[in-house]
Each structure stands twice: as C-alpha cells, then as structure tokens.
Amino acid sequence: MASNPKPRLGRGLSSLISPHPVQTSQPAAPPPADASAPIESPNVDISTKQVSGQALVPLDAIDPNPHQPRQSIEPAALAELANSIRVSGVLQPVILRPVGQRYQLVAGHRRTEAARQAGLTSIPAVIRTDATDENQSEWALVENIQRENLNPIERARAYRTYIERFHLTHQQAASHLGEDRATISNFLRLLELNAAIQDMVATGALTFGHAKILAGIDDHARQELLARRVADEGLSVRELETLATELAQDLSGETTTVAQHQRTVKSAHIIELEQELSRKLGTKLRIFPGRRKNTGKIVIQYFSLDDFDRITGAIQ
C-alpha cells in the first residue's frame, strides 16, 4: 500500500501551532492571565503539572534544538526583541517537544534567548508530542527562513544538514520544504567556495548574487581575487559577471562573450548530479558541459593508487 505523501512545510509556521488544545504526555504548568509574568519557581517539576494547548514553561527546563540552523544571533536585533518582550511580553508562543523530564525547542530559538535576556524565567509554549527528529529539523529550518532571514551560508548549511541527515535528494528536500529544487542546489553550491569567501557572504560583504557567480568558477584563486575586487570596489553583480568573463578571456587567450559565459554556467540539475555522484563515489567530481549541445566531460579526482582502485571498483 502506498504511503501518504509527506506534507509540505512551506505554507508556514501557522500549520505547526494547533488552534485546538494539545494533550501531552509530559504536561507543564498552565499559563496565568499575564503570559509574560514569571512563575513562582523556575525549578518546577514539569511532570506534575497539567497543560491545555499552551503552557508557561520554565526557561531552565528548555534545551536547544540540536537541528537549529542559525549559528549566531545579531546582538542588536536580539536586544531589540528583548526590549519588546519587556514591554509587551512574548506574543507568539515557542514550540517545544517533551524529551524525558525536560523540553527541547522545535521553533523559537530567538524568542527564547530574548526572553532570557529580558529577565523572564518562563515562556509561553505550544507542546508538540508528535514532533520527530525529522520534522523538528524541518520546522526549525522553515522558521528561520520565513521569519529571521538566515544569511546565505547559514541557509546553505541548513539545507546540507537536512539533506544529509535524512538522506534526501535535492528534489525531495525541495518538496518537503516548499522550495524550488534549483534554489536549494544554488545555495548548496555556495559551500564549495573557500572559507574566506563564505565569511564575506555570511557578513554581507558579498551578496547571494555575487556568490552564485563566484561558485561557478572552479579556480579558487580566481574566486578570491574577484571577491576582493567586489568588496574593495563595490562592484554590482552584473559588473562582476563582466569582469569574470574578461578574466577568463585573459587566462585562456580566447574571445568569449558574456552570453557564451552565461551558457557555460552550470544548471541546478548539473550541480545536483555533481554532488550526487561525488557522494556515491566518495571523491570530488566535476561535470563540464561542452559548447556543442549534449557534449561535455566528467572529471573524477583520485588521490592515490588505492583511491583509484576503489573508485574504478565502484564504477564497475
């Protein structure tokens, strides 16, 4: 019998917060009238309290989400949210799941940290007993993408973690997250940039558009040279594209138009094939489309004779 298709999460976090009371096997204290007010003791035994849909949960009973894609929170933005919470309380409950005698965050990392900074000892929460490792990872990713705008590198790492943890193809991940496959593939390609350029993208010195062009250049030294020029000269994406084409001409001695350069940029499908084949063969692999239709070459790297024998054995 065919299993039911997995629902897409791209429709937003409203789908995660049930409008009806949620019964839990690890109940917590019911919220008082003022949801921002601290409870009497932050060390309450969560196994002895009753819950009806939402609960006021002690902050020191909440552990972080191990699948949280956000590596850091901008201090000024966190301080602003903390000030808002001091004035108005936490207006949107976080989402938790019970784990033993404690709770684990599913969504609401930023609100939880801001509540601590605001001096609260508890936070309103929706308890989801149906949360699994997989949808916990999905929900954390969706929340960050839709609410808090991960920088491109954080988003790329979140996609990679999700795909690798649950053994998904790019298309399956796109379907689950309500994203376009090409979008996911383009973000993942950013992780092939060297660490210095990734840092420039993460801090906003380079835009996602700049990074996409640089990721299409296989020579890392040339990538870094162009990245530095973008940062130093404030080049636009179009100017970077023109400069990359001119530099390629200087190095090859061939005349290449911008239109020809654009045609050689790898499609999301080619990028996904490279990553899938590299994973299966356990080595770096590159696909280079030819100038003529339906032609090209595949380059497979090996690093020792034993490695060569292993790769040829895998192909055979």
Compare 299 and 47 and report the one with higher pLDDT. Answer: 299
**Percent with pLDDT over 70 in the chain:** 73
The DSSP-derived string for 222-233 is HHHHHHHHHHHH
What span, in angstroms and rounded, lies between the C-alpha atoms of 314 and 200? 38
The DSSP-derived string for 243-305 is HHHHHHHHHH-----HHHHHHHSPPHHHHHHHHHHHHHHTS-EEEEE-SSTT-EEEEE--SSH
pLDDT in tens, 61-88: 999 888 776 666 778 888 999 999 999 9
Helix axis angle, 152-165 relative to 195-202, nearest 10°? Answer: 120
> What pLDDT sits at residue 44?
32
What span, in angstroms and rounded, lies between the C-alpha atoms of 134 and 106? 11
Is the CATH code 3.90.1150.10 the one for domain 139-264?
A: no
Domain-by-domain residue ranges, the chain? 24-131, 139-264, 268-315
pLDDT in tens, 34-47: 333 333 333 333 33
What span, in angstroms and rounded, lies between the C-alpha atoms of 10 and 145? 10
What's the CATH class of domain 24-131? alpha beta
